[in-house]
Structure 1
Amino acid sequence: MIPLLDLKAQYASIKGEIDAAVLGVLASAQYVLGDEVARFEQEFADYCGVRHAVAVNTGTSALHLALLAAGVGPGDEVITVPFTFVATVSAICYTGARPVFVDVEPSTLTMDARQLEAKITPATKAIVPVHLYGQMADMDEIKAIADSYGIPVIEDACQAHGAEYKGARAGSIGLSGCFSFYPGKNLGACGEGGMAVTNSDDQARTMRMLRDWGQEQRYHHILKGFNYRMDGIQGAILRVKLRHLEDWTEARRAIGHRYSTLLGGSTVVKTPMELVGRRHVYHVYAVRSRDRDGLRRVLNAEGIQSGLHYPIPVHLQKAHADLGHQAGDFPVSEEAAQDVMSLPIYPEMTMRQVEIVVETLEHAYVD
């Protein structure tokens, strides 16, 4: 069996550190926020190259608070992409704003900046590019357009811990960057967790209040806030894992590059593209095939797991039918949803396992 990811292997490799960190929080009884979370915030801010990091309970909460702190509310519009996990769009809806979609570019499946300006209206209050699968969107073009209209950019970096664009870390280019620490992420908690990072003092102050019932000091509620606080145990665990993140990232990159080398001449699948000037951290190794479902059956029969990220774009989800879109509105996203599949990738994966996956793919029968 070759799993899509192996969280047990990761835990086994750092078990002593994790166990000690958890026991330390239990002994301190700082179960919500507390010293471990505060230290993790500072360490993660340093890692991203920003001034502030605000720890929350999920990546969705990070997006929600970043948008609210940027002034987004009912009647506003927020531009994003339809080829993403639904949480990106849900966070926009939580503010009362309306999601407006821009299709993705074929090479990276991130926001097509060439289509962005045409979607901007007087109601546009934020732009949310999604750094998909571990590679950042075209931030130069997106930021230039946004700045020309005075519109803030909120980076959805939930799949891009440690990714870079021309030397700048994910989350450090826009007004805020938002991360998820869901267990399967490159930096994953043992449960839920999220973070919003920013260089803006005002943005950070507002997000800190909003995550904790809108209070800046106990029982003094300045804003109508939420209970989005991070648990102390998750903060301690993530501090341990952050120390290993760069090693894990380089392992992922080596595996991704090995896949791409072995599949370089493949007639079975099309490999992902890592663009010049971008550090791809391979949260997902997504290939494309016209016979995706057939290939997945072949892999499964040989004990090799695969994944779908994502089989239905958000504009065609029943939950968002109220937006009024239909098939054909965003053709690149719709085509990707039909032919993208994710191959196993995790830092503990061996190169022999990579070779077995590739051999299985290459020997599959495809019409």
Structure 2
Amino acid sequence: MKIPFVDLTSQYHTIKKEVDEAISKVLEGGVFIGGKPVEAFEKCFQNLYDTKHCIGVGSGTDAIYITLKMLGIGPGDEVITAANGWISTAAAVTQTGATPVFVDIDPSTYTINVNLIPKALSSRTRAILPVHLYGQSAHIRKISEICEAHNLFLVEDCAQAHLTEENRVKAGTFGNAGIFSFYPVKNLGSYGNAGCIITEDDHLATEIRTFANNGALKKHHHTMEGINSQLDTLQAAVLNVKSKYIEQWNAQRIKNAALYASLLSETDQIHLPTVRKDTRHTFHLYVIRTKRRDALKEYLEEAGIQTAIHYPVALPNLPAYRHLNTKPSDFPVATQYQNEILSLPIYPEMTEDMIYLIIEKIKSFFGK
């Protein structure tokens, strides 16, 4: 049996009729920018999060950049974020002209270490940009308290945390704005690039929508210079279908994670994901750690089981951030973990037999 890391084709076949009809309706209607599908999805996502505003944009990366830009963040400013994760988070900070300031991660949750944030604050700090990583909520309430105490903006990167919660409150609703990616492999994924921003702030929502639409809410009435970052109508149509299943899919991911945990808990050479008390981890990724990561990955690949590494190099250790003059030793946990983390398949369409096989192979590897 071959087990892919993700299987979007299998998911498509479970909702094929609805997706095909939604796409066909857009094609027949001849409207490919804006229109009712976009309006419907924004309303749908707004209701999912019980928030006042949802603005669809072209990608999760755009969502971060646009939000920071409209909060007035730019050259001379600093934005604190986590030392691990996908580069888009930090790159969007740089796009505004500001400087990302990396903070090492919590050894248990892999999200930003809230206890190290105060040391990273300076007179130039304007915002904190925590990443709810792998489906795990950052310590967002504590981060919110730091932002309030220091008059900082709080922008939550929820690209990997659709409907993740802390104390029954959804990640993305604690700060000035929450940003989301609907990249195809996300828990709620489109069939291309797509993203959105949620906020309770009326003024910020208007600024974001204006800037993302070439600086105009009405065609040819430009109140500012903006960019062209709109949620594609076809992608919105797909997301309208998929959004009906996101709770079901998340529940299956959580169930799969529980099965992994119950059967791998006695494997001494593996560290399993932690689920913090009073949080809902939605398991975008199921990330284990082992000192023998590379050998295990190769062994599983030979057995027909695909895995991945999220992420093989901590962000401040990348050549792209050499100009910040930091050292790997400045981020000891992120630097150590980049050599140990391994993502196992976790998608909702997995069968129990597939998970049992993965576990069998992992135990076989460590039993050699």
Same fold, TM-score > 0.5, yes or no: yes
Q: Which residue of 1 aligns with 2:158?
A: 157
Whole-Å separation in 1 of the counterparts to 2:77 and 2:97: 8
Q: What's the secondary structure of 1:259's corresponding residue? A: helix
Residue 365 (structure 1) shift: 4.3
1:60 alignment partner in structure 2? 61
Alignment of 1:49-88 (within 5 A): 49-88=50-89
Asked whether the equivalents of residues 268 and 366 of structure 1 are also in contact (C-alpha less than 8 Å), the reply is no
Query: Match of 1:154, SS?
Result: strand
**Conserved 8 A contact 1:60-1:88:** yes
What is residue 330 of structure 2 aligned with on the other side? Answer: 329
Instruction: Provide the residue aligned with 1:359 in structure 2.
Output: 360
Q: Distance in 1 between matches of 2:129 and 2:351?
A: 36
Does 2:212 correspond to 1:211?
yes
Aligned to 1:290: 291
Q: 2:54, 2:193 → 1: CA distance?
A: 17
Alignment-mate amino acid for residue 143 of structure 2: I
Cα deviation, residue 49, structure 1: 2.0
Counterparts of 1:161-310 in structure 2 under 5 Å? 161-310=162-311
Tell me by how many angstroms 1:269 deviates. 1.3
For 2:321, the aligned partner's letter is H
Q: Which amino acid aligns with 2:75?
A: P
Q: Deviations over 1:30-60 (max 9, x none)?
A: 2012111111011101112211111011100
Secondary structure of 1:190's partner?
coil
1:291 touches 1:366 (CA, 8 Å); kept in 2? no
Counterpart for residue 319 of structure 1: 320
Contact 2:84 2:315 in 1 (8 A): yes
Q: What one-letter code is carried by the residue in structure 2 that aligns with 1:338?
A: N
Q: C-alpha distance in 2, partners of 1:66/1:49?
A: 19
- 1:305-345 Cα distance to aligned partner (Å, 9 max, x none): 00000010110111121111222110111111110000011
Report Cα offsets for 1:178-235 as digits up to 9, x if no partner.
Answer: 1110000000001110011111111111110111101121111112210111110000
- Pairwise CA distance, 1:351: 1.0
Q: Give the number of aligned pairs.
A: 367
After superposition, the C-alpha distances for 1:279-310 in whole angstroms (9 at most, x for unaligned) are 00000000000000000011001000000000
CA offsets 1:332-361 (integer angstroms, 9 cap, x no match): 111111100000110010111111101100
Report the more deviating stretch, 219-228 or 292-301.
219-228
Amino acid at match of 1:328: S
2:46 and 2:53 in contact (8 A); partners too: yes
Whether the aligned pair in 2 keeps the contact of 1:18 and 1:240 (CA below 8 Å) is yes
Q: Equivalents in 1 of 2:365, 2:195: separation in Å?
A: 40
Q: TM-score, normalised by structure 1?
A: 0.98
Q: CA deviation at 1:72?
A: 0.7
- Residues 10 and 349, structure 2, Cα contact 8 Å, conserved in 1: yes
2:83 equivalent to 1:119: no
Q: Which residue of 2 aligns with 1:12?
A: 13
Q: Residues 365, 152 of structure 1: CA spacing in aligned structure 2 closer, same or farther, 3 A cutoff?
A: same
Please give the per-residue CA displacement for 1:112-171, whole angstroms capped at 9, x wherever unaligned.
111111211121111000000001100111000110011010000000001111111121
Tell me how far apart the structure 2 counterparts of residues 353 and 303 of structure 1 sit (CA, whole Å).
11
Give the whole-Å Cα distance in 2 for the aligned partners of 1:331 and 1:223. 43
Q: 1:5 is matched by which residue type in structure 2?
A: V
Residues 232-258 of structure 1, C-alpha deviation per residue, up to 9 Å, x if partnerless? 000010010000100000000000011
Q: Output the CA distance in 2 between the equivalents of 1:348 and 1:72.
A: 41
Q: Contact 1:268 / 1:362 at 8 angstroms: preserved in 2? A: no
SS of residue paired to 1:332: helix
The CA distance in 2 between the partners of 1:49 and 1:220, in whole Å, is 31
Hey, which bits of structure 1, 4+ residues long, moved more than 2 A? none
What's the TM-score, normalizing by structure 2?
0.98
- 1:3 partnered with 2:4: yes
CA contact (8 A) 1:213 1:225 kept: yes
Residue aligned with 1:153, SS: strand
**Does the CA-based 8 Å contact 1:268-1:361 persist in structure 2?**
no
Q: For 1:9 and 1:365, how far apart are their aligned partners in 2? A: 31
What residue number does 1:137 align with? 138
SS of corresponding position for 1:364: helix
Q: Which amino acid is 2:342 matched to?
A: M
Deviation of 1:366 (Å): 7.1
